[in-house]
A and B are shown apart, each in its own frame.
Chain A
């Protein structure tokens, strides 16, 4: 029987707060080294942690969105270890009594719905950053990130393939974004993933697991897990034993490598954080946050499908990012344009996305232009813009300097109207027929596919602005005379 992967993800998500979890320093990314630090996040003698209320609310929201139980009493613990980017010599985290427990996240995959259960979600502080290759003097330590609020979402080993894992993580990110918990930006490290991977034969116990650290993109998640499953299978097939290890993903060479092993096993000496009293979360607050929970991406996609027939793949792409999904719904409004929803969804995730990717425009710019794009889409669907005209409009507008909406209006005006009137088309049609009398003869001799050639010739002469059906109708008329 075949080997099967067993995967559980541990996801660190940065909470969307203004200030750090235990001090008032800003959480803004990209400042000069140590610009955003204070005695608390520097671990100065005498500095004490004071918990950020919004971090608690966001963690509760995450728990509610993932069907967790919210603990009315939870507790913080110290995890002790020495590292230069850990200023106090311990991380404040939740080990024995986390804020959220249980819960699950279902994802639709090609093989059906996969349920990935959640063991728990806890609050903790992030470490700073060690920069290893910037200076001959040694490793540089920047503590701007130290104390950034995180939740750690610990998944059960319920996933069975690299694709399952990516689908689960993608859905998790969409939920965290929809609920405003986390911006989900993997490049900036707002969302980081570790994967616990083992292999087994179905119905046999799980094998020894390896933890793969720092998977910072969906691609890394997929490739690292796929390679790790292959590696473990190969080890076992060769008669070897999988060792419990922490491994790192080497994207350049497509392999996982064991981290340098320490001479001593980790002994984090956890104990309750004496500087923080137990965290009490009132049931009223939980109820308030539950009531305020926004529509989650799965529900939104289902609604779009039921109401508008938006295809699943396009809905999934649009609902990855709630700001985009909101702008999409706003553009459609409640009016007759809703009939266009499915086409507009395909248009936005197709032509618009392609044009966007080739351009330097921001997501916000595109989102703001969605009402105009809807107009563009409507014209195109109704035949008031030809494919060629549409391509010209998008290319010209995305390449412009002004806001995308304004550029689109300009490009629409410039491209003019499609030519449908037979009287207007007739000179061009007649000229083409006269020029290619031999081809006209072939058509009349019964070689009808030549009609396509004539349509192309006419359209070229009209600069793509001719209504293809009107042109074809007129050509046939003339040729059949």
Chain B
């Protein structure tokens, strides 16, 4: 049992979001004990995992005590009352430092909560800290964090994935019940796959981006990292919905997905499309991962799903289009880091010019991957190249979008691998940016098309026993159906017998 494997000697067993909320509401456990246990697990594992950039011990315990006091006073409790959650460092929490994994923002504390954070607080969640990430969410391994990488709980010599690697590692190791990440090209789903947890990216526009550091605005979306689909639904339900502070947030009402998942339904009548480009024709796909995905497809079929092959002819161009669009937007989004109003400013000799202040501050503050992407995006937008690179990529983006729209007319969801490989050793691709970009091959298209997508653990890799992620992509704004399908798969899969976190490196 996954949860049993996560229990720490002397500490309460780690429970999920839903389970914890129920236990606290029922008075079976006190919120302050849950918070203390989460903090104790952080103490025990954090040295190995480096999942956090900031832990708010005092704030977490105080918030938990307020929940206990409210309960004693008979006040109504929020749906997440007392549930300890962590927040990726891209997301503003008033009073907690925010770095976005960058030296550029070291020492900066945002004045206001992000909307998603305010909503978690309103639901009663206990915020335990900020999780590690690739700098400005640019990376697929967490090795681009200016503060050192998170490590994979299943094998500490391996990457946790990225960019929400800290959140995935923390969730897998039971450091809190789950948390929020951001997903621009797979940054929630891929680390979730590599760490063996559920990573859920809702439709672009479904969750407010207000207070979330922008990487690529038209692709960024806040998502959840949890140990179950039901937990994902619970966090998602708390944060989703339109926000007057984000003009791209969608006014459509949000269905209460959490209530929908109380029992696993079978998949009779559900049509699932398997993109041939993601499986049969994907020769970069690890053989063991392919095997587990094919087994998962068989499981889905056994549950009654109509599993069929579909084709997305333009997804082969997804990576190229994605890396031009995201870097172009990032080059503009990151211009605000100029050493004037907040963040790092270079120490310069008196008489230094404004331009040297900009260039030196930015040269010192940004790490190599951020510079690489800013330069690429600047180039893609620059005079003489804009049409051939940026505009062309936006046109291809539409073709990718239309491929998905066509496939999702005949299918309720698409299914395939999340990552072509399992967690790789730290450093394996650190000096090869293009190799790292190609790891996002299965995830970026959902961002280009703006669709909801979710990674759920399949059976572990047959050779390495490392986690393998199965990805579902759904119709725009139909998160409810996507969660139902993933939940049914999760139930059919049964518990995963995985080694305890951090066991491998001992």
Interface, chain A (partner B; CB < 8 A): 39, 42-51, 78, 80, 82, 84, 87-90, 139, 141, 265, 267, 269-271, 274-277
* CB–CB A43/B329 < 8 A: no
Contact (A80, B248) CB under 8 Å given A45-B213, A46-B210, A48-B210: no
In this complex, what residue of A is CB-closest to B336? A43
Name B245's contact: one of A48, A89, A276 (CB within 8 Å): A48
Q: Is A89 touching B338 in the complex (CB atoms < 8 A)?
A: yes
Closest Cβ of chain A: how far from B398's Cβ, in Å?
13
User: Cβ of B414 < 8 Å from any Cβ of A?
Assistant: no
In the assembled complex, which residues on chain B have CB atoms less than 8 Å from the CB atom of A87? Answer: 336, 340-341
Q: Which of A49, A89, A274 contacts B335 (CB 8 A)?
A: A89
Q: Report B-chain residues with C-beta under 8 Å of the C-beta of A43.
A: 336, 341
- Is B51 positioned at the interface, with any CB of A under 8 Å from its CB? no
Q: Is B358 an interface residue (CB 8 A)?
A: yes
Q: Are A48 and B335 in contact (CB under 8 A)?
A: no
Q: How far is the CB of B109 from chain A (nearest CB, A)?
A: 11
- Asked if B248 and A46 sit within 8 Å, CB to CB, the answer is no
CB <8 Å contact, A50 and B378: no
The reply to whether A82 and B335 contact each other, CB–CB distance below 8 Å, is yes
Q: Are A271 and B216 in contact (CB under 8 A)?
A: no
B92 on interface, CB distance cutoff 8 Å: yes
**Contact at A48–B209, with CB atoms within 8 Å?**
yes
* Cross-chain contact of A269 among B98, B246, B378 (Cβ < 8 A): B378
Given known pairs A39-B111, A90-B335, A269-B382, the reply for A84 and B354 (CB within 8 Å) is: yes
B interface list, Cβ under 8 A from A? 91-92, 98, 100, 105, 110-112, 114, 209-214, 216-218, 244-248, 328-329, 331-332, 334-336, 338, 340-342, 354-355, 358, 378, 381-383, 386, 390
Q: A42-B341, A50-B245, A277-B248 are in contact. Are A269 and B381 (CB under 8 A)?
A: yes
State whether B335 touches A88 (Cβ < 8 A): yes
Say how far A449's CB is from chain B's closest CB, in angstroms.
76
Task: Indicate whether A89 sits within 8 Å of B247 (C-beta atoms), given known contacts A46-B110, A80-B381, A274-B216.
Answer: no
The smallest C-beta distance from A282 to any residue of chain B, in angstroms, reads 16
Whether B213 and A271, one on each chain, are in contact in the complex, defined by CB atoms closer than 8 angstroms, is no
Q: How far is the CB of A296 from chain B (nearest CB, A)?
A: 33
Q: Is the CB of A271 within 8 A of B381?
A: yes
Known interface pairs A46-B92, A274-B217. Does A84 touch B329 (Cβ–Cβ under 8 Å)?
no
Q: Given A90-B332, A271-B386, verify A46-B214 contact (CB < 8 Å).
A: yes
A51 contact set on B, CB distance < 8 A: 247
Contacts of A270 in B (CB 8 A): 381, 386
Contact call A46/B213, Cβ cutoff below 8 A = yes
Q: Chain B residues near A45 (CB, 8 Å)?
A: 92, 98, 100, 105, 110, 213-214, 336, 342
| Smallest CB gap from B329: residue in A | A274
Which residue of chain B has the shortest Cβ distance to A269 in the bound complex?
B381
Taking the closest CB of chain B, its distance from the CB of A266, in whole angstroms, is 9
Residues of A within 8 A of B386 (CB): 269-271
* Complex contact A271–B336 (CB within 8 A): no
Closest residue of chain A to B91 (Cβ to Cβ) is A46
- Taking CB atoms, residues of chain A closer than 8 Å to B245 are 48, 50
- Do the beta carbons of B114 and A46 come within 8 Å of each other? yes
Q: Which residue of B lies closest to A22 (CB)?
A: B247
In the assembly, what is the distance between CA of A271 and CA of B327, in Å? 12
| Contact B210 A80, beta carbon cutoff 8 Å | no
B248 touches A275 (CB 8 A): yes
Q: How far is the CA of A78 from the CA of B342 in the complex (A)?
A: 22
Give Cα A338–Cα B364 distance, bound, in whole angstroms.
74
A49 touches B211 (CB 8 A): no
> Whole-angstrom distance from the CB of A267 to the nearest CB of chain B?
5
Contact A267:B382 (CB < 8 A) given known A48-B247, A49-B247, A82-B358 = yes
Nearest residue, chain B, Cβ from A45: B213
Which B residues lie within 8 Å of A49 (CB)?
247
A265 to chain B, nearest CB (A): 8
> What's the minimum C-beta distance from B363 to chain A, rounded to whole angstroms?
14
Cα-based distance from A48 to B332 in the complex (angstroms): 14
Instruction: Name which residue of chain B comes closest to A82, CB basis.
Output: B358
Chain B contacts for A47, CB-based, 8 A: 210-211
Q: A39-B111, A141-B340 are in contact. Are A271 and B328 (CB under 8 A)?
A: yes
Question: A46-B110, A47-B210, A48-B246 are contacts. A80–B335 as well, Cβ < 8 Å?
Answer: yes
**Is A88's CB under 8 angstroms from B336's CB?**
yes
Closest CB in chain A relative to B281 CB, distance in Å: 32
A147 to B136, CA, bound (A): 25
Q: How far is the CA of A265 from the CA of B245 in the complex (A)?
A: 36
Give every chain B residue within 8 A of A271 (Cβ-Cβ). Answer: 328-329, 332, 381, 386, 390
Q: Which residues of A contact B390 (CB under 8 A)?
A: 271
User: Is there contact, CB below 8 Å, between A46 and B332?
Assistant: no
Interface centre among A43, A78, A80, A269 (most CB of B within 10 A): A269
Q: Closest A residue to B390 by CB, please name it.
A: A271
Decide yes or no: A80 and B332 within 8 Å by CB, A50-B244, A51-B247, A141-B340 being known contacts.
yes
Q: Which A residues lie within 8 Å of B111 (CB)?
A: 39, 44
List 4 tightest A-B contacts by C-beta distance, closest first. A89-B335, A274-B217, A269-B381, A274-B218
Q: How far is the CA of A274 from the CA of B336 in the complex (A)?
A: 16
Give B213 Cβ to nearest chain A Cβ, in Å.
4
A33 to chain B, nearest CB (A): 13
18 more A-B residue pairs beyond the given contacts A48-B210, A274-B329, A277-B247, with a C-beta to C-beta distance below 8 A = A39-B112, A43-B336, A43-B341, A45-B213, A46-B214, A50-B244, A80-B331, A80-B381, A84-B338, A87-B340, A87-B341, A88-B336, A141-B340, A265-B383, A269-B332, A269-B382, A270-B386, A275-B214
* B105 partner residues in chain A, CB cutoff 8 A: 45
Residues of B contacting A84 in the complex (Cβ-Cβ under 8 angstroms): 338, 340, 354
Q: Known: A44-B342, A46-B210, A84-B354. Contact between A89 and B110, CB under 8 A?
A: no
> What is the chain A residue whose CB lies nearest that of B213?
A45
How long is the Cα–Cα vector from A265 to B383 in the complex, in angstroms?
10
Question: What separation, in Å, do the CA atoms of A64 and B111 have in the docked complex?
Answer: 42
B165 to chain A, nearest CB (A): 20
Separation in Å of the A74 CB from the closest CB of chain B? 14
Residues of B within 8 A of A274 (CB): 216-218, 248, 329
The smallest C-beta distance from B333 to any residue of chain A, in angstroms, reads 8
A370 to chain B, nearest CB (A): 44
| Bound form: Cα–Cα A275–B214 in Å | 10
A-B contact pairs, 5 of them (CB 8 A): A80-B335, A270-B381, A271-B328, A271-B386, A275-B217
Most central of B111, B245, B378 by chain A CB within 10 Å: B245
CB distance from A435 to the nearest CB of B (A): 81
Distance A276 CA – B411 CA, assembled complex (angstroms): 31
Q: Which residues of B contact A80 (CB under 8 A)?
A: 331-332, 335, 381
Contact across chains for A78 and B332 when beta carbons are under 8 A apart: yes
- A88 cross-chain contacts in B, Cβ below 8 A: 335-336
B209 proximity list for chain A (CB < 8 A): 46, 48
Complex alpha-carbon distance, A179 and B296, angstroms: 66
Scoring B91, B246, B247, B386 by chain A CB atoms within 10 A of each residue's CB, the highest score goes to B247
| Bound CA–CA A44/B245 (angstroms) | 14
Q: A45-B213, A46-B114, A275-B217 are in contact. Are A267 and B383 (CB under 8 A)?
A: yes
Bound together, the chains give a CA A464 to CA B98 distance in angstroms of 80
Distance in Å from the Cβ of A189 to the closest Cβ of chain B?
Answer: 22
Q: In the complex, how many angstroms separate the beta carbon of B104 from the nearest chain A beta carbon? A: 10
Cβ distance A356 to chain B, nearest Cβ, rounded Å: 44
Q: How far is the CB of A23 from chain B (nearest CB, A)?
A: 9
Least CB distance, A103 to chain B, in whole angstroms:
28
Task: Collect the chain B residues with CB atoms within 8 Å of residue A44's CB.
Answer: 110-111, 336, 341-342
